[in-house]
Amino acid sequence: MNKRDLARYRKLIEAERRLVHDKLGVIESEISDRSDQTSAGHAYSNHMADIGSDVMEQEQAFLHASKGNDYLGQLDDALKRIEVGTYGSCEECGSKIPVKRLEAFLPARLCIECKSKLEKLHKS
Ligand SMILES: [Zn+2]
């Protein structure tokens, strides 16, 4: 990948990073808001059913947040690969990762062929 392409992807990844970061920020504040409400609720009533669903929602929010953090890590990793100039090359076979694949999933590390090989390996 040439320098112009790398610079273009760096911008795309940085924009995506900010987007995910903002979303995670929202999720994190939602979690702390709910915790406040739940602890306040405890003092006033013992509505077990209500508390139960609150906990469920909290867990789901945490799950989303951890998935988002994972994705953020992958984006950071992609930025590092842009720095060293290996971004856009398959880590397995070294061939170019198709632009369509990169644009669908910016932190892609493998070409479609190696990815599907790996997936088959995991399934068997
Ligand atoms: Zn490959």
Residue 112 lies in a domain: no
Mean pLDDT for 43-59 is: 63
Residue 110 lies in a domain: no
49 CA distance to ligand 1 middle (Å): 51
95 CA distance to ligand 1 middle (Å): 6
85 CA distance to ligand 1 middle (Å): 17
- The confidence band for 68, taking pLDDT boundaries of 50, 70 and 90, is confident
Domain count, the chain: 1
DSSP 8-state secondary structure symbol assigned to residue 105: S
Mean pLDDT for 66-94 is: 93
Residue 123 lies in a domain: no
109 CA distance to ligand 1 middle (Å): 9
pLDDT at 117 over 60: yes
111: burial class by Cβ within 10 Å (0-12, 13-18, 19+)? buried
Residue 97 lies in a domain: no
Residue 34 lies in a domain: yes
Exposed e or buried b per residue across 39-55, where buried means at least 16 C-beta atoms within 10 angstroms of its C-beta: eeeeeeeeeeeeeeebe
15 CA distance to ligand 1 middle (Å): 26
- Length in residues, the chain: 124
87 CA distance to ligand 1 middle (Å): 13
Q: How far apart are the first and last CA of the chain?
A: 34
CA gap 51, 37 in Å, rounded? 10
Name the residue range of residue 71's domain: 3-87
pLDDT at residue number 30: 78
Per DSSP, the three-state class of 96 is: strand
> What's the pTM?
0.70
pLDDT at residue number 49: 56
